Amino acid sequence: MRTRSDRPQKLAPFRVYSPGSLGAAVRHYRQQEGLSQAELAERTGLNRTYLSALEHGRETEQVKRILRVLRQLGVRMTLEKADW
């Protein structure tokens, strides 16, 4: 008999409101998948150093632009594990 504690826990989505919160989400989901930065970089065609900077909350030009658009629209982005 499965108890409540045996069920997989669904984590709350990550709210993305800054480069740091985006980086924390990327790191969390990468680690959850058991991938190194190098493995994720290879799979995505990005440089490992870019992923490292992203995970450390460095404000890249792309991130800055996305956050600026979201702020102007008065919306926030949330990230959660997809089931596809």
Q: Please state the domain extents for the chain.
A: 14-79
Q: What is the pLDDT of residue 84?
A: 73
Question: 57 near 26, Cβ under 8 Å?
Answer: no
Q: What is the pLDDT of residues 23-70, one digit of tens each?
A: 999 999 999 999 999 999 999 999 999 999 999 999 999 999 999 999
Tell me the whole-structure pTM to 2 decimals: 0.79
Residue 80 in this model has a pLDDT that exceeds 50: yes
> CATH number of the domain at 14-79, please?
1.10.260.40
Give, in order, the Cα–Cα distances in Å from 34 to each of 10, 27, 38, 63: 18, 11, 12, 25
Q: What is the pLDDT of residue 44?
A: 97
